[in-house]
Amino acid sequence: MTRFCIRALAAGLLFFAGNLAAQAAGEGGSRDKLWRIVSACLGPENAEYCRRCDSPRIDTACPHNGRCEDTTEVWRETNEFVAIRDIKMCSCPAGFVHGLALPRARVKGIEVSPLPDGIWAFAWAVAQEKIADESTIALVVNSVRTRTQDQLHIHLVRLRDGARQNFSGRVASVLRLDDVWNVVSRLAANRPPLKDYSVLVASNLKGGFEVLVESNERSLERAYTQRTCQ
């Protein structure tokens, strides 16, 4: 291969890599996208809202490029928490549900202590509004290794058909959703202890709720839930 061809090939590879990086940035590749929504996109009454928020609420008049993925749809909000549509719902048929429940304070993820107890009850209440069959509701927090965003978020999704029969890993039951984090800590501390893990919460058909904890080698969201409409 001539020196000119080598230079041309190298230039082409650099151009391709640059395009990939630009595409990733344009599609929200930043791990702080959810935090930017929480911190800058929930209060349209704030001065310069449209300039500061790069994913404006759909109930505002801010100009945007028309992409569903670049807007925020708020399902419910309190002083502590907010629930929004996940971008995985964009271009999906009616009836598909994938939401996110997030704290409004800065909480990086499942590795932080203390974690907000009330977020599970908040997420469950929102999921009940979106998913009629309560037995199919799943709330999932991904591990540090498998998550893509550094703001704590609970996925509001449906269980896959037959998922309950395949539950494995560390499982416990709770009566109150505010006890989930305590149970998670206990399950993760069992031998061998887990330093990083995913959590799934579903209804217990006999009453209360089931809590699953799995090592970071597998995403419970992928294993047990209808996370996409594809």
Same domain for 219 and 152, yes or no, is yes
Q: Which residue type occupies 100?
A: L
Give domain status of residue 128, yes or no. Answer: yes
CATH (domain of 156): 3.30.428.30
Give domain status of residue 66, yes or no. Answer: no
Give domain status of residue 44, yes or no. Answer: no
Query: Structurally, how many domains does the chain consist of?
Result: 2
In degrees, rounded to 5, the angle at the alpha carbon of residue 114 between the alpha carbons of residues 216 and 122 is 85
Give domain status of residue 65, yes or no. Answer: no
Same domain for 78 and 9, yes or no, is no
E-strand ranges in 61-126 read 74-77, 81-85, 99-103
Same domain for 197 and 123, yes or no, is yes
Contact between 126 and 76 (Cβ < 8 Å):
yes
Give me the residue label for tokens 């809590």: 211
Same domain for 25 and 85, yes or no, is no
Give domain status of residue 61, yes or no. Answer: no
pLDDT for res 161: 95
Give domain status of residue 220, yes or no. Answer: yes
Give domain status of residue 58, yes or no. Answer: no
Same domain for 88 and 144, yes or no, is yes
- Longest Cα–Cα distance in the chain: 73
pLDDT for res 83: 98
Contact between 58 and 81 (Cβ < 8 Å):
no
pLDDT for res 97: 98
pLDDT for res 175: 97
pLDDT for res 11: 36
Same domain for 82 and 193, yes or no, is yes
pLDDT for res 216: 84
pLDDT string in tens for the chain (230-residue length): 444 333 434 334 333 333 333 333 334 459 999 999 999 999 999 999 999 999 999 999 998 787 999 999 999 999 999 999 999 999 999 999 999 999 999 999 999 999 999 999 999 999 999 999 999 999 999 999 999 999 999 999 999 999 999 998 899 999 999 999 999 999 999 999 999 999 999 999 999 999 999 998 888 999 999 999 97
Q: pTM value?
A: 0.86
By residue range, what is the domain housing residue 155?
Answer: 74-224
Contact between 116 and 80 (Cβ < 8 Å):
yes
Give domain status of residue 118, yes or no. Answer: yes
